Structure 1
Amino acid sequence: MSTTFRFTEPLPPKAATGRVAEVYEQLARDFGIDKAPTFVVLSSAPEILAPTWALMRESLIAGAGSRTGKELAAYGVSHANKCPFCVDAHTVLLHATGDHALAERLARGERPENEEHARVLSWGQHTRVPGAGLMPYPFPPEHAPAYIGTALSFHFINRIVSSLLTEQLMPGNVQRWRPVRSLAGRSMAGTVRRTAVPGAALALLDEQAAGPAWAAGTTVGPAYAALRAATAAGADLLDEDEQAVVRETLWDWDGSHPPLSWPALPDRREQPGARLAVLAALAPYRITQEDVTAWRRPEHTDRCLVRLVAFGAFAAVDRIESSFTLHAARERS
């Protein structure tokens, strides 16, 4: 039987208990999809699932600013990261906001007619390059925490999706047909256009820290801090040398997609864990069954694989986020 999941076999959502079940309940209420594969694939690691949902909810769904604008930013991020699953998802969600013409222009590969929309889309695309495209923001400064949180949320989610899911948003990729994506969007319109109260997802977190300066005073900050802490714990799956390889590779990264001939990529036989983490960070769509098999030993459960991929994925997010933190520090000085 075909499945949308690669390398793992998550439990069916109907079997969920505890915090995982609580996340699914919020997904159904605030996102409109209680069994979204994007989140189901993380369910074997609830400590990763909960803050991933919290960051997306508190920025994209409940954060300040236009939902259309934030969907455009997320679309731009997903396009820059070469994540067709998420590109298609945000096209459907733009139909859900009621912006049908805009959604179809993007589906045809065309630039938005509205100049403000075009600037937001471009900003989202440029966030992949650490330090690029930061200022001036194409949105009001008071909306920056929600827009930045949305961008960083999808820099993480794109990498999880490309690593652990197939490219099919719907069976047979039927969302590539205009009537299907339009109908799917309209079916979610009531949820997407409903106003969400900030903070509901924070109760799902293990602990709450203030978060980075760019998110000060918002519920986005604690969600980001929780995801950073949860993913950092995945470093325990690598030895010190492998951790150093990941850090050094990310430090030198300029936002580009690695070439097919990539000398810096760790060897599959010698450092399989570091290889998976680096691929998850910079080219998750290139992870193969051979890469996973080379690393996976009997003690490596699905939870271990999710944690390792999340560690690598967030290493890239942290590299991108550092530019926003630096800018916020300069603004305060």
Structure 2
Amino acid sequence: MPSPFRHTTPPEPASAAGPVRAVYTQLARDFGITRAPTFVVLSSVPEIMASAWALMRESLIAGDGGRTGKELAALGVSEANRCPFCVDAHKMLLHATGDHALAERVARGEQPADEDQARVLAWGRATRIPGAPELTPYPFPAAHAPAYIGTALAFHFINRVVSALLTERLLPGNVQRFRAVRSLGGRSLSRTVRRHPAPGAGLTLLDGAGLALLDHAGPGPDWARATTVGPAYAALRAAAGEGERLLDADDRILVRETLGAWDGAHPPLAWDGLPGRDRPGARLALLAALAPYRITEEDVAAWRTPDRTDAALVRLVAYGAFAAVDRIESALPVRTAKEAS
């Protein structure tokens, strides 16, 4: 069977130990998929794998609000980021929520019939674009904002990692695009998806499995208030931020300035601001941030040296991906979330 991985060969899940093994255990229990490639691809850097899972778990899975709405938000994010793997996954997971008509409606490219659900989908799509009018007012209760915002930001990160380091095929031969396969796949996950686990278990991976992320990451942004989403987000920010050490000062400045000026658009093929392969680290980081699906073998080869391992590539991609997340998060209108009681 062809490998789903591009540019890296992750460690075999069967050999996992410590925090990586703990993530796989939680994935099986709370997500229903033990060896999800989305997280396997991060496993060479346990702190990134664990914090990415923690953010997804504490927002999408254990956060406030119904799973259907948050899956719609994640679908909108994935569509906006042009991540076919994740788009197909969320369509299948909508089947798992039990809303089969909705799942098939969006699979056909139609809008949800329910106006509130349509607004959630539009909100998810709009989160890529700073200042988009669809971002306000929230299409969900303000009290649910930490979970919805956390879900959106989790998938802005995950989409970029997936597009950079996985193929587009969720299942071999893209069979998930057949209705029967989508439905069957979703139904196989329904018991897990319809359960609502208690918040906090994702944080135990960061606090008690050999990862000291919570010691210095802080409580997280204001929009997360006193929820477990906040520390999970802060942990991922801290873990992904370590990748900046792979760039020199000039490259870090270029990444920051480019992201600061970004308007949410997908870069054109003739992207004048993209460095050449003579600055391979900055090129990879910016591609991971803004157009991860355009990373090629040649881009990776230009950056590789004997000491730049698969783990180093994961760190660099995660750094670029979170640079985009940070830009998106900084532009979100969160006043209502802060004021919600």
Normalising by structure 1, report the TM-score. Answer: 0.97
Specify the SS of the correspondent of 1:28: helix
SS at 2:332 equivalent: helix
Q: Distance in 1 between matches of 2:76 and 2:324?
A: 17
Query: Is this contact kept in 2: 1:75–1:124, CA < 8 A?
Result: yes
Deviation at 1:312?
0.2
State the 1:330 CA deviation. Answer: 8.2
The residue that corresponds to 1:298 in the other structure is: 306
- State whether structure 2 residue 243 is matched by structure 1 residue 246: no
Cα shift at 1:326: 6.3
Unaligned runs of 5+ in 1: none
Q: In the alignment, is the contact (CA less than 8 A) between 2:145 and 2:337 conserved in 1? A: no
- Report the counterpart of residue 59 of structure 2 in structure 1: 59
Question: Which of 280, 284, 290 is the equivalent residue of 2:288?
Answer: 280
| Distance in 2 separating the partners of 1:97 and 1:112 | 15
Alpha carbons 2:136, 2:333 under 8 Å: kept: no
After the TM superposition, list the runs of 4 or more consecutive aligned residues in structure 1 that deviate by more than 4 angstroms.
328-332
State yes or no: 1:22 paired with 2:22: yes
Amino acid paired to 1:7: H
Alpha-carbon deviations, 1:89-120, whole Å to 9, x = none?
00000000001111111111001100010000
Cα deviation, 1:155-202, whole Å, max 9, x if unaligned, reads 000000000000000011000100001000000000000111000010
Question: 1:76-87, aligned counterparts within 5 Å?
Answer: 76-87=76-87
- What is the rounded CA distance, in whole Å, between the counterparts of 1:326 and 1:103 in structure 2? 29
List per-residue Cα deviations over 1:108-151 (Å, max 9, x = no partner): 10011000100000000000012323310000000000000000
Q: Which residue in the other structure is 2:43 paired with?
A: 43
- State how far apart, in whole Å, the 2-side matches of 1:328 and 1:293 are: 46
Q: Give the counterpart letter for 1:152 in structure 2.
A: L
Give the alignment's Cα RMSD to 1 decimal: 1.3
- Once the 2 structures are TM-superposed, how far is the Cα of residue 325 of structure 1 from its aligned partner? 7.0
Q: Would the alpha carbon gap of residues 216 and 159 (structure 1) be closer, same or farther in structure 2, given more than 3 Å must change?
A: same
Which of 177, 193, 217 is the equivalent residue of 2:226?
A: 217
8 A Cα contact 2:94 2:102, kept in partner: yes
Work out the CA distance in 2 between the residues paired with 1:252 and 1:225: 23
Q: Corresponding residue for 1:200?
A: 201
Q: 5+ residue gaps in structure 2?
A: 207-211
Q: Give the residue type in structure 2 aligned to 1:290.
A: E
Q: Separation in 1 of the partners of 2:42 and 2:159?
A: 13
Question: What letter corresponds to residue 257 of structure 1 in structure 2?
Answer: H
| Deviation string, structure 1 residues 260-284 (Cα, Å, up to 9, x no partner) | 0000001112x10000000000000
Conserved 8 A contact 1:79-1:125 = yes
| 1:235 matched residue in structure 2 | 244
1:136 aligns with 2:152: no
Q: Which amino acid aligns with 2:271?
A: W
1:2 deviation in Å? 1.8
In terms of mean alpha carbon deviation, does 238-247 or 322-331 score higher?
322-331
The AA in structure 2 aligned to 1:42 is L
Q: Which of the residues 268, 274, 281 maps onto 2:277?
A: 268
Question: Aligned residue for 2:327?
Answer: 319
Q: Tell me the distance in 1 between the aligned counterparts of 2:188 and 2:11.
A: 26
Determine the C-alpha separation between the residues in 2 that align with 1:46 and 1:260.
34
The Cα offsets for residues 192-221 of structure 1, whole Å up to 9 and x where unpaired, read as: 001110000101112322100000110000
What is the identity, as a one-letter code, of the residue corresponding to 1:239?
Answer: D
Name which of 224, 235, 238 aligns with 1:226.
235
Query: Using the alignment, how far apart are the partners of 2:97 and 2:334 within structure 1?
Result: 33
1:306 maps to amino acid = V
Mapped contact 1:213–1:325 kept (Cα < 8 A): no
Distance 1:281 1:308 in 2: 10
Q: Using the alignment, how far apart are the partners of 2:28 and 2:309 within structure 1?
A: 28
Q: 1:241 to 1:307 in 2, by over 3 A?
A: same
Determine helix, strand or coil for the equivalent of 1:111: coil
Greater CA deviation, 5-14 or 205-214?
Answer: 205-214
AA at the equivalent of 1:3: S
Give CA-to-partner distance per residue, 1:263-318, whole Å, 9 cap, x none. 0001112x100000000000000000000000010000110000000000000000
Instruction: Rate the CA distance shift 1:129–1:2 in 2: closer, same or farther, 3 A.
Output: same
Q: Which amino acid aligns with 2:184?
A: L
